[in-house]
Amino acid sequence: MLNGHKHTRHAAAYTMVNAHEVACISGIAAAVDLGADYPEDLERDKFALLAFRLYYLLAYGKWYRKKHAKSGPGEDYASGLYGSVYQGPGVSGEDRSCWKEEVKNGRSLEKWT
């Protein structure tokens, strides 16, 4: 097995399921396992931390323990159950307003079920 041999770590989307998010998490997990710090703002994001911890546990057999203070940037990125509502970087109120307008005009679905 290549992972862990001579300080080598494997990071890719196909380590579990083929998804962009897994590729990002696997890269961060490889860096953390080699000694890098997990980003402070992501540690305060409940959903990001949960996803990272589960991936790190499955891929490396280790549980990631928090190292940063509870308050600071990132603490309000995710709300709801396990951070199910994301309001961090990359999400703007304008995008949501555009979507609501498209729903009103019948060009988008309000519910996917």
pLDDT in tens, 10-67: 777 765 666 788 888 989 999 999 899 998 888 888 888 888 999 999 888 999 998 8
Residue 92's pLDDT is: 58
Residue 59's pLDDT is: 86
With a cut of 80, say whether residue 113 has pLDDT above it. Answer: no
SS (H, E, C) the chain: CCCCHHHCCCCCHHHCCCCHHHHHHHHHHHHHHCCCCCCHHHHHCHHHHHHHHHHHHHHHCCCCCCCCCCCCCCCCCEECHHHCEECCCCCCHHHHHHHHHHHHCCCCCCCCC
